[in-house]
């Protein structure tokens, strides 16, 4: 554990009380109160962190709705990091849904109305000329390990949220700290405000972002590039995490920058990795091989493409077949039905080209009135063993679809991954009931357990990228890796799959519980850093055997250190 026990701090009086990094509130000792000018600024009794947590928990309980709880926790984060992270860690399973999906989606959608205090870095298109000065204003003298950025075009499944996208960048950063042990003072959350095409926001006089239509094309690329080059120039060893970019930019930007900096797109790679782990765990239950599966991916956006590629690479690695052969195992469906050749270039993005089905394969298969081949028809024809939803189409996996799938295989693997909860393709309780308890299920947001026919609870695993990205990121940061390779991601996914509760009892959840996610992600990080060392992309000269010890030393933990005043100390 790296958190130092003594800090030399240069802030006094109100300045230290309003610094969330150093504030302890009633936890300041009497000695510190004297030294930092706090005696008259605090009530006399000194509280332990346990007492502060108990009080904060009671206060949280008095907020009745999830969104009010979210606002309460947000202001706690602005006040005292140690207390905030301790409270979250002590109640991880209860509080992740409050600070992350699904509640964070509502906080983001209402960002301009809930707005009280800014957090993170706002880089707005009209200020492009002064971006470097503005960037340095917040980061000068800081040691940044992690940059999480979003342009907010495709937030969760709720679309373009303009400047509210800062909420996903900060939520993802919080998860990095909570689950990955990243020091929050070394993380930077950035919103790249290039406008919004969300008419409701544009017409809202309280909207706090830049109220113009989204910038596209060359001007957009220049803006993003200016930002990426600043990250590379000032923090060359940092991890740059892209979140919730629109489908036309996500893959393109990742490919553009991933060879030049340690870059990561969570919706593509994080989602791909956690889904590969869930599928690996599920085929452990069905006692089959990856290569023997037939996959339907419903929703061919960033997540759909990332999942497809990751599964494809997983098959190639595990079962030694060629990528071209592995590509044939996938059937992608988007708004225009099955992605097949005759849809033409206007409807098929370039990056999907490996997975386009030939038309003649579908001769004689009924189409809908628009000439499209629907999910139901694909299910009936190919008898998939794995059905994955990342479409934002709530209820897209109808009873007919789910039952048709169950008719074609013994243990259908069904992963409706769309977030937040209300956009799920099928409620797992229904999928369980419609298949007589045979479906192996995992969802993107948390759901309560489903009842099996034998009366037992079937725990619905949360197949959310947050179960793996903090570990992937930590592994990259620890190893100071110059790039995040596909092999590093596969190593992380395999490690996660190996920790699946379903491997010891097939009736258990497909993935570890979020309550165990810090330990699970630590293991993922070790696997990723070891892989970086093996392939020579690491920037540290550690031996693989040393990684675990070094990783432990570098993890941040929320504990109060002892403070000593020093005018040249930290601020
Ligand atoms: N569980 C996770 O870890 C995780 C990770 C990333 C994304 N997601 C979820 O997946 C969903 C998609 O995210 P994304 O980043 O890929 O967004 P995206 O906008 O890039 O992709 C969505 C795709 O679904 C398609 N689509 C829309 N309606 C459809 C329909 N009726 N039938 C078939 N396809 C349809 C869209 O055309 C688009 O290609 C969101 O709900 C998001 O929250 C979950
Ligand atoms: O943020 C999440 O909950 C997962 C994912 O990145 C998403 O966009 O839905
Ligand atoms: Mn996302």
* Residue 2 pLDDT > 70: no
Cβ(267) to ligand 2 under 6 A? Answer: yes
Q: Are 556 and 86 in contact (CB under 8 A)?
A: no
CA distance from start to end of the chain: 22
How many percent of the chain have pLDDT more than 70?
A: 99
In this prediction, residues 425-436 reach a mean pLDDT of 98
What are the boundaries of each domain within the chain?
99-261, 269-463, 467-554
In this prediction, residues 103-130 reach a mean pLDDT of 97
Task: Count the neighbouring beta carbons within 10 Å of the beta carbon of residue 303.
Answer: 31
Helices (H), 258-367: 271-286, 302-319, 323-327
Q: How remote is the CA of residue 419 from the centroid of ligand 2, in Å?
A: 6
Atom 6 (ligand 2): residue with closest C-alpha? 267
Q: Are 566 and 10 in contact (CB under 8 A)?
A: yes
Residues 6+ apart with CB under 8 A from 366: 377
Q: How remote is the CA of residue 423 from the centroid of ligand 1, in Å?
A: 10
pLDDT bucket at 352, cuts 50 / 70 / 90: very high
Catalytic residue among 24, 69, 77, 172: 172
What tens digit of pLDDT does each residue of 390-409 get?
999 999 999 999 999 999 99
Q: How remote is the CA of residue 397 from the centroid of ligand 1, in Å?
A: 14
* Domains 99-261 and 269-463 alike in fold: yes
Can you say which residues are annotated as belonging to the binding site for a divalent metal cation? 243-244, 267
pLDDT bucket at 534, cuts 50 / 70 / 90: very high
Catalytic residue status for 100: yes
Question: Ligand 1: residues whose CB is within 6 Å?
Answer: 154, 156-157, 247, 267, 271, 274, 298-304, 333-335, 390-393, 396, 417-419, 423, 444, 463-465
State the chain's mean pLDDT as an integer: 96
In this prediction, residues 239-245 reach a mean pLDDT of 98
> In three state form, how does the secondary structure of 59-70 look?
HHHCCCCHHHHH
- Rounded to 5°, the CA angle 55-56-57 comes to 90
Cβ(302) to ligand 2 under 6 A? Answer: no
Which residue of 154, 465, 511 sits with most ligand 2 atoms within 8 Å of its CB, as the best mutation to test the pocket? 465
Can you identify the CATH homologous superfamily of domain 99-261? Malic enzyme, N-terminal domain (3.40.50.10380)
What tens digit of pLDDT does each residue of 6-30 get?
999 999 999 999 999 999 999 999 9
Eight-state DSSP code of residue 373: P
Cβ(266) to ligand 2 under 6 A? Answer: yes
Q: How remote is the CA of residue 44 from the centroid of ligand 2, in Å?
A: 44
> Please, what sign has the CA dihedral across residues 47, 52, 58, 63?
positive
What tens digit of pLDDT does each residue of 89-112 get?
999 999 999 999 999 999 999 999
Can you identify the CATH homologous superfamily of domain 269-463? NAD(P)-binding Rossmann-like Domain (3.40.50.720)
Number of helices and strands in the chain (H, E): 23, 16
* Residue 4 pLDDT > 90: no
Q: Are 458 and 414 in contact (CB under 8 A)?
A: no
Eight-state DSSP code of residue 155: B
What tens digit of pLDDT does each residue of 191-218 get?
999 999 999 999 999 999 999 999 999 9
Atom 33 (ligand 1): residue with closest C-alpha? 334
Q: How remote is the CA of residue 349 from the centroid of ligand 1, in Å?
A: 15
Atom 9 (ligand 2): residue with closest C-alpha? 156
Q: What is the DSSP pairing of strand 450-451 with strand 457-458?
A: antiparallel
Q: How remote is the CA of residue 246 from the centroid of ligand 2, in Å?
A: 13
Q: How far apart are CA 15 and CA 10, in angstroms?
A: 9
pTM of structure: 0.95
Which residue of 271, 305, 391 sits with most ligand 2 atoms within 8 Å of its CB, as the best mutation to test the pocket? 271
Phi, psi of 477 (to 5 degrees): -70, -45
Q: How far apart are CA 333 and CA 300, in angstroms?
A: 6
Q: What is the DSSP pairing of strand 461-462 with strand 440-443?
A: parallel
Of all ligands present, the nearest one to the C-alpha of 423 is 1
In this prediction, residues 453-470 reach a mean pLDDT of 96
Q: Is 270 helix (H, G, I), strand (E, B) or coil?
A: helix
> In three state form, how does the secondary structure of 206-268 look?
CCCCCCCCCCCHHHHHHHHHHHHHHHHHHCCCCEEEECCCCHHHHHHHHHHHCCCCCEEEHHH
Q: How far apart are CA 242 and CA 103, in angstroms?
A: 21
* Residue 1 pLDDT > 80: no
Can you say which residues are annotated as belonging to the binding site for (S)-malate? 419, 464
Phi, psi of 241 (to 5 degrees): -105, 120
Catalytic residue status for 176: no
> What is residue 3's predicted lDDT score, i.e. its pLDDT?
59
Q: Are 260 and 240 in contact (CB under 8 A)?
A: no
Cβ contacts of 374-382, under 8 Å, gap ≥ 24: 374/337, 374/338, 375/296, 375/298, 375/333, 375/337, 375/401, 376/400, 376/401, 376/404, 377/338, 378/296, 378/331, 378/333, 378/338, 379/296, 379/404, 379/405, 379/408, 380/404, 380/408, 382/294, 382/296, 382/331
DSSP string, 292-303: G--EEEE--SHH
Q: How far apart are CA 431 and CA 438, in angstroms?
A: 9
What tens digit of pLDDT does each residue of 356-382 get?
999 999 999 999 999 999 999 999 999
Q: Are 73 and 56 in contact (CB under 8 A)?
A: no
Catalytic residue among 85, 100, 111, 469: 100
> What is residue 5's predicted lDDT score, i.e. its pLDDT?
86
Atom 3 (ligand 2): residue with closest C-alpha? 101
> What is residue 508's predicted lDDT score, i.e. its pLDDT?
95
What tens digit of pLDDT does each residue of 280-301 get?
999 999 999 999 999 999 999 9
Of all ligands present, the nearest one to the C-alpha of 157 is 1
> What is residue 289's predicted lDDT score, i.e. its pLDDT?
96
């Amino acid at each position: 554990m790296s958190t130092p026990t003594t800090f030399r701090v240069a802030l006094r009086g109100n300045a230290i009380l309003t610094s969330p990094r150093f504030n302890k509130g009633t936890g300041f000792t009497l000695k510190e109160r004297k030294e930092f000018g706090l005696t008259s600024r605090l009530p006399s009794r000194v509280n332990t962190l346990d007492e502060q947590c108990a009080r904060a928990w009671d206060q949280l309980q008095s907020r009745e709705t999830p969104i009010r709880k979210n606002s309460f926790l947000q202001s706690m984060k602005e006040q005292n990091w140690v207390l905030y992270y301790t409270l979250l860690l002590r109640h991880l399973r209860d509080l992740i849904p409050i600070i992350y999906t699904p509640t964070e989606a509502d906080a983001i959608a209402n960002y301009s109305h809930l707005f009280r205090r800014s957090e993170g870095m706002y880089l707005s298109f009209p200020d492009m000329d002064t971006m470097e000065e503005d960037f340095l204003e917040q980061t000068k003298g800081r040691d940044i390990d992690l940059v999480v950025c979003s342009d907010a075009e495709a937030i969760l499944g709720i679309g373009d949220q303009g400047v509210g996208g800062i909420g996903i960048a900060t939520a993802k950063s919080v998860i990095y700290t909570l689950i990955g042990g990243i020091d929050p003072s070394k993380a930077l959350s950035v919103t790249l405000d290039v406008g919004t095409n969300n008419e409701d926001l544009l017409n809202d006089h309280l909207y706090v972002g830049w109220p113009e239509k989204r910038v596209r094309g060359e001007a957009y690329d220049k803006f993003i590039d200016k930002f990426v080059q600043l990250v590379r120039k000032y923090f060359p060893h940092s991890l740059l995490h892209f979140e919730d970019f629109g489908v036309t930019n996500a893959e393109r930007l990742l490919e553009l920058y991933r060879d030049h900096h340690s870059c990561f797109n969570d919706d593509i790679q994080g989602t791909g990795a956690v889904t590969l782990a869930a599928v690996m765990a599920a085929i452990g239950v069905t006692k089959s091989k990856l290569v023997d599966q037939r996959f339907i991916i419903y929703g061919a956006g960033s997540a759909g493409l990332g999942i497809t590629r990751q599964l494809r690479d997983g098959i190639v690695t595990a079962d030694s077949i060629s990528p071209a052969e592995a590509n044939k195992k996938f059937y992608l469906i988007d708004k225009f039905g099955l992605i097949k050749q005759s849809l033409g270039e206007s409807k098929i993005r370039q990056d999907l080209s490996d997975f386009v089905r030939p038309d003649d394969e579908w001769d004689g298969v009924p189409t809908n009135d628009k000439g499209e081949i629907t999910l139901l028809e694909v299910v009936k024809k190919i008898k998939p063993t794995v059905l994955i939803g990342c479409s934002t189409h709530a209820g897209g996996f109808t009873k007919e679809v789910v039952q048709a799938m169950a008719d074609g295989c013994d243990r259908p693997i069904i992963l409706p991954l769309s977030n937040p909860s209300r956009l799920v393709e099928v409620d797992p309780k229904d999928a369980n009931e419609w298949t007589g308890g045979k479906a192996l299920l995992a969802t993107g947001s948390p759901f309560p357990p489903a009842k099996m026919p034998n009366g037992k609870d079937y725990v619905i695993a949360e197949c959310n990228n947050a179960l793996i990205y903090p570990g992937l990121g930590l592994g990259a940061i620890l190893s100071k890796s110059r790039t995040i390779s596909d092999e590093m991601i596969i190593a992380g996914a395999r490690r996660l799959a190996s920790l699946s509760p379903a491997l010891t009892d097939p009736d258990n959840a497909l993935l570890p519980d979020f309550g165990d996610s810090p330990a699970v992600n630590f293991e993922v990080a070790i696997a990723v850093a070891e892989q970086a060392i093996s392939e020579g992309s690491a920037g540290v000269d550690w031996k693989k055997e040393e990684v675990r010890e070094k990783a432990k030393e570098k993890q941040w933990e929320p504990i109060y250190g002892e403070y000593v005043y020093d005018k040249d100390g930290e601020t």
